[in-house]
Chain A
């Protein structure tokens, strides 16, 4: 699937995949919800919150920059037609 990607798409693809790797947000949600009901809710809440925020930045930022890059390609196409 990845093998026949034209090299002009490598950067967007890497960036899109990078966004997907933020899937760890799921784990962060689950673990945080468990952690804040345990002992030491403040510390675990802080760490868990950090994890959610960090992975969410990864996801949202990743998809958005990918979209921005890809838009430029498609804009060009319309020009051309």
Chain B
């Protein structure tokens, strides 16, 4: 058995290996490319998955470790756990699940990097050790950072920014510690155990403190960044153990993850650097200028002020629905759909306004609404309908807060300041189906709630308040 294998492996030339690596990398790229198109995305994802499976087989063959049975046991265990988690997770919990998966990937990279640091699976030269240490540290930062992110999203940890006194200085010091650990690994005279301990301590600290210091609203960006980091960690650990495929795919993930992070930053009008090191940005009780809320069209307001919400709903001809995460928590998607159908039966135009970060991540709300059978032709991105709030008859807010908080325009120093928002406040009539009037995920009060005209509040669990309202119609 072993002899035939050895013979077969000799024939397995390096050239063939690199050709196959090239093919698989192209397959992965093609998969990602397809994933950027709505119709092809599913195929793209599957192509990537198949490429990954082939990559595992290729690696087993190339390294002549096919007969090592323990590997299969571990692969099988991981496969089963992965499947169970993936099938049991609810759509609403998706962001934290992704963060958790990402953390696992980081952990694995850290272990591979750790091995390489001790010369296992890699050369003993200083280049290998440096690369190994980098992979080790990034892997650990990814692991702990992702755990904190998942914990915050799952509300196991407080969502607010948790900052130490002198947060920035801590971060810089720990970062310097990470660099120091990498430099230490350059010297072969230093015991790798010492390098490992120091690197472990500083990168754990960095990962935890950095992620804890990120406010709730910035979490999507953080996850995307950590995702990119785990790609980088994989790529660098590939360098350490000399695995071309690992380097290439890790690199792709790192680069495209960074791009995606940039896109999200743009959507939220945040600078990456501020998020990373801006832990000092508190959630201050900044006085908010309530009066500044732009006055909606006076005439319209006066004309309709006498109307009660029910007759308002009956006469509205142009309705914009603003769904938020609260809708998902209350599981009110289907009721929202019913309400939309009611409007539509009245010959009203109904559109859903999707803020880029509605839900907990860009696109998360689309997934949640898709689950409730909402046609995605009715979903409009913020930029394409934000000017229409002025002319719409009615805006229906369901469990959304931060994404339409006018404080983002005015209240400097708050976490959401500068974030593009939906111009719900410009709509003459606004229904708000929110649980309460407390500040949202970002912790910033919403001055819209104190508006006097054309604001109708339906407080409580959106499932119940919506049901009540539907009954009245």
Q: Give A contacts to B, CB under 8 Å.
A: 1-36, 38, 44-45, 47-77, 79-80
Closest chain-A Cβ to B80's Cβ sits at a distance in Å of: 8
The interface residues of chain B lying within 8 Å CB-to-CB of A24 are 105, 108-109, 112, 230, 233-234, 237-238, 246, 250
The interface residues of chain B lying within 8 Å CB-to-CB of A48 are 74, 111, 115
Given the contacts A18-B101, A27-B241, A80 and B35 also touching, CB distance less than 8 Å:
no
The interface residues of chain B lying within 8 Å CB-to-CB of A34 are 115, 120-121
Sample 15 A-B pairs with CB under 8 A, ordered by A number: A9-B38, A12-B363, A13-B36, A18-B102, A21-B250, A22-B105, A26-B56, A27-B112, A30-B59, A36-B68, A38-B120, A62-B86, A62-B101, A69-B367, A76-B373
Q: Are A20's CB and B252's CB within 8 A?
A: yes
Chain B, interface size category, equals 35 or more
Q: Are B102's CB and A58's CB within 8 A?
A: yes
Hey, what's the 0/1 contact readout for B85-99 against A, CB within 8 Å counting as 1? 111010100110110
Given the contacts A23-B249, A24-B108, A48-B115, A56 and B41 also touching, CB distance less than 8 Å:
no
Q: B414 at the A/B interface (Cβ < 8 Å)?
A: no
The interface residues of chain B lying within 8 Å CB-to-CB of A1 are 29, 32-33, 36, 256
Closest chain-B Cβ to A6's Cβ sits at a distance in Å of: 7
The interface residues of chain A lying within 8 Å CB-to-CB of B216 are none
Q: Are A14's CB and B241's CB within 8 A?
A: no
Chain B, interface SS category = helix
Q: B376 at the A/B interface (Cβ < 8 Å)?
A: yes
**B95, closest chain A residue (CB):** A11
Q: B197 at the A/B interface (Cβ < 8 Å)?
A: no
Closest chain-B Cβ to A69's Cβ sits at a distance in Å of: 5
The interface residues of chain B lying within 8 Å CB-to-CB of A38 are 120
CA of A9 to CA of B363, assembled, Å = 6
Q: Are A58's CB and B120's CB within 8 A?
A: no
Tell me the chain B residues, 23-45 only, with Cβ under 8 Å from chain A.
28-29, 31-33, 35-36, 38-39, 41-42, 44-45
Contact of A61 among B39, B82, B267 (CB under 8 A): B82
CA of A80 to CA of B263, assembled, Å = 30
Q: Give B contacts to A, CB under 8 Å.
A: 28-29, 31-33, 35-36, 38-39, 41-42, 44-46, 48-49, 52, 55-56, 59-60, 63, 65, 68, 70-71, 73-75, 77-79, 81-83, 85-87, 89, 91, 94-95, 97-98, 101-102, 104-105, 107-109, 111-112, 114-116, 120-121, 223-224, 227, 230-231, 233-234, 237-238, 240-241, 243, 245-246, 249-250, 252-253, 256-257, 259-260, 263-264, 267, 354, 356, 359, 361-364, 366-367, 370-371, 373-377, 379, 381
CA of A49 to CA of B72, assembled, Å = 10
Given the contacts A27-B234, A76-B370, A76-B375, A16 and B86 also touching, CB distance less than 8 Å:
no
Q: Are A61's CB and B241's CB within 8 A?
A: no
Given the contacts A16-B35, A31-B112, A61-B83, A52 and B94 also touching, CB distance less than 8 Å:
no
The interface residues of chain B lying within 8 Å CB-to-CB of A56 are 74-75, 77-79, 81-82
Inter-chain pairs besides A2-B259, A7-B362, A64-B83, 20 sampled, C-beta below 8 Å: A2-B256, A4-B36, A6-B36, A8-B376, A10-B362, A11-B362, A14-B260, A16-B35, A21-B234, A22-B105, A28-B112, A30-B241, A33-B63, A54-B104, A55-B104, A56-B79, A59-B52, A65-B94, A65-B97, A66-B45
The interface residues of chain B lying within 8 Å CB-to-CB of A5 are 35-36, 260, 263
The interface residues of chain B lying within 8 Å CB-to-CB of A74 are 39, 42
Q: Which of A12, A49, A57, A65 has the most CB of B within 10 A?
A: A57
**A65, closest chain B residue (CB):** B86
**A5, closest chain B residue (CB):** B36
Q: Are B77's CB and A72's CB within 8 A?
A: no
The interface residues of chain B lying within 8 Å CB-to-CB of A62 are 82, 86, 98, 101
Given the contacts A9-B38, A10-B263, A33-B71, A61 and B101 also touching, CB distance less than 8 Å:
yes
**A12, closest chain B residue (CB):** B41
The interface residues of chain A lying within 8 Å CB-to-CB of B55 are 23, 26
